[in-house]
Structure 1
Amino acid sequence: MRIDFSSLYPNVVGFERMARELEGLFEQKSAGWPPYNIEKLEQDRYLITLAVAGFERDELILETELGTLKIKGQKHPQEGERTFLHQGIAERDFELSFKLSQHVEVQGARLEHGLLQIELARELPEPLKPRQIAIGNPETLALPSAE
């Protein structure tokens, strides 16, 4: 499924590169395994869910560095030889990377029923948050006079 972000920018000129980067976030160049979902929970909160059946907590590594979330799965070697009549559950190592937007931070992660869920949230610093500015009297402002 391809997500088209062009409808989000009908009145913006010069931000085509940003739109292409947003599209690229949802078109990960991976082998397609493990499968994952990216959900928008509410304003500025997101959830990435990976299907990692067969992996234990100590076989999964999550790291963030320079705006990138990396998720690695490294299976421990199995003792003894196993004979499969059919093997449909992949038990191979993997590495996925997700480029995070500015000010998006990982809030936490949990592994339950073979699903790894990673919560993300955008936390804007105070100076970047919108604020209302009160209009005062001319006498209270330290502006140069128009003389």
Structure 2
Amino acid sequence: MRTFDLSPLYRSSIGFDRILGLLENPARLQTVDNWPPYDIAKTGEDAYRISMAVAGFAQDELEIIQEPNLLVVSGVKAEDDKAEYLHRGIAGRSFTRRFELADHVKVVGAKLENGMLTIDLERDIPEEMKPRRIDVVTGKTPAASKQIEGKKQAA
């Protein structure tokens, strides 16, 4: 297995420790599983939708949990031992699907309709995290210097 040295990235980046940690930790990678099938769509500038085909699952058999930077969707199908199947082609097995979420992405709603589970996500960046313009002033004294606590000392 190839390993990459990410230490040069640490020298020139600030606040990306979590992302670089994800790249360095291959144990977090899950095996490739293609069931149940799903789509991820961008529905707006800061809005996303996950559509997942969960035919045969009832609402009480599905569970959606949002953890910090992680969305876990799982389904546990109740077993029907009464029927004797001659052929069983409809997948009704339990599943767990994990989605890594970016910072400030939260689930705003979920619905189950016609065998499709739809999860709406939205990136809600707090006002203090949004870009702001810093005015540059000229002169000898800074315009925004304020004394917060204590008394001024005589020179």
Q: TM-score, normalised by structure 1?
A: 0.70
Deviates more, 1:135-144 or 1:57-66: 135-144
**Matches of 2:108 and 2:37, distance apart in 1:** 21
Quickly say closer, same or farther: Cα 1:41–1:49, change in 2 above 3 A. Answer: same
Shift, 1:131, TM fit: 3.4
1:51 maps to a residue whose letter is: A
1:52 maps to a residue whose letter is: V
Deviates more, 1:49-58 or 1:132-141: 132-141
In the other structure, the counterpart of 2:4 is none
Structure 2 residue 67 is matched with structure 1 residue 76: no
In the other structure, the counterpart of 2:131 is 130
In the other structure, the counterpart of 1:36 is 38
In the other structure, the counterpart of 1:108 is 109
Q: Give structure 1 stretches of 5+ with no counterpart.
A: 1-12
- Root-mean-square deviation over aligned CA pairs: 3.2
**Matches of 1:36 and 1:140, distance apart in 2:** 55
Quickly say closer, same or farther: Cα 1:76–1:49, change in 2 above 3 A. Answer: same
In the other structure, the counterpart of 1:89 is 90
Shift, 1:136, TM fit: 8.3
Q: Give structure 2 stretches of 5+ with no counterpart.
A: 1-11, 24-28, 147-155
Q: Larger radius of gyration, structure 1 or 2?
A: 2
Shift, 1:106, TM fit: 0.7
Count the aligned residue pairs: 127
**What SS is found at the alignment partner of 1:127?**
helix
**Matches of 2:124 and 2:31, distance apart in 1:** 27
**Matches of 1:142 and 1:66, distance apart in 2:** 37
**Matches of 1:68 and 1:50, distance apart in 2:** 17
Q: TM-score, normalised by structure 2?
A: 0.67
2:72 maps to a residue whose letter is: K
Q: Which runs of 4+ in 1 moved over 2 A?
A: 27-30, 130-144
Alignment of structure 1 residues 3-14 onto 2, 5 Å:
none
1:115 maps to a residue whose letter is: M
Asked if 2 retains the 8 angstrom alpha-carbon contact of 1:72 and 1:94, the reply is: yes
Asked if 2 retains the 8 angstrom alpha-carbon contact of 1:35 and 1:50, the reply is: yes
Shift, 1:125, TM fit: 0.7
Alignment of structure 1 residues 24-63 onto 2, 5 Å:
29-63=31-65
**Matches of 2:30 and 2:120, distance apart in 1:** 18
* Aligned sequence identity (%): 41
**Matches of 2:32 and 2:115, distance apart in 1:** 20
